[in-house]
Amino acid sequence: MILATDLDGTFLGGEPADQKSLYAWINGHEKFQLVFVSGRGLASILPLFEDPRIPKPDFIICDVGATLVEGRSLEPVEPLQSLIEERWPGSEKVAALLSTVQGLVRQEVPQQRRCSYFYDQQTDIESLKKKVEQLNCELILSAGKFADVLPGGVNKGYSLQLLARQYRMNKDHVLVAGDTFNDLSLFKSGYKGVVVGNAEPGLPEATAHLPGIYHATREGAGGILEAMHHFAWLQHPVTR
What does the buried/exposed string (b/e) look like for 47-86 if buried means 16 or more CB atoms within 10 Å of the residue's CB?
ebeeeeebbebbbbbbbbbbbbbebeeeebbeebbeebee
Smallest distance, Mg ion to C-beta of residue 115, A: 19
Applying CB under 5 A, what is the total number of residues that bind Mg ion? 5
- The residue (of 6 and 18) whose beta carbon lies closer to Mg ion is 6
Q: Applying CB under 5 A, does 63 fall inside the site for Mg ion? A: no
Determine the interface stretch with Mg ion among 4-12, 42-50, 156-164, 203-211 (rule: CB under 5 A). Answer: 4-12
Q: Which residues pair with 4 in a beta bridge?
A: 35, 176
- The residue (of 138 and 200) whose beta carbon lies closer to Mg ion is 200
> Distance (Å, rounded) from C-alpha 223 to C-alpha 155?
23
Q: Applying CB under 5 A, does 8 fall inside the site for Mg ion? A: yes
The angle at the Cα of 224, spanning 223 to 229, to the nearest 5 degrees, equals 95
Report CA torsion sign: 105, 109, 115, 121: negative
Smallest distance, Mg ion to C-beta of residue 232, A: 25
Smallest distance, Mg ion to C-beta of residue 10, A: 5
> Distance (Å, rounded) from C-alpha 239 to C-alpha 67?
35
Burial class (CB in 10 A: 0-12, 13-18, 19+), 36: buried
- Provide the 3-class DSSP secondary structure of residue 54: coil
- The residue (of 8 and 124) whose beta carbon lies closer to Mg ion is 8
Residue nearest to Mg ion (CB): 9
Which helix (H) or strand (E) is 34 found in, with range? strand 33-37
Smallest distance, Mg ion to C-beta of residue 27, A: 22
- The residue (of 94 and 191) whose beta carbon lies closer to Mg ion is 191
- Provide the 3-class DSSP secondary structure of residue 176: strand
Determine the interface stretch with Mg ion among 5-13, 57-65, 99-107, 165-173 (rule: CB under 5 A). Answer: 5-13
- The residue (of 155 and 180) whose beta carbon lies closer to Mg ion is 180
Q: Applying CB under 5 A, does 9 fall inside the site for Mg ion? A: yes
Q: Pick from 2, 4, 5, 6 the residue near Mg ion by CB under 5 A.
A: 6
User: Which string of x and - marks every residue 146-185 that binds Mg ion (by CB under 5 A)?
Assistant: ---------------------------------xx-----
Using CA atoms of 143, 102, 185, 89 in order, give the dihedral in degrees to the nearest 10: -140
Smallest distance, Mg ion to C-beta of residue 9, A: 4
Determine the interface stretch with Mg ion among 8-16, 67-75, 128-136, 209-217 (rule: CB under 5 A). Answer: 8-16
Residue 204 makes CB contacts below 8 A (sequence gap 6+) with 195, 215
- Give contact residues for Mg ion (rule: CB under 5 A): 6, 8-9, 179-180
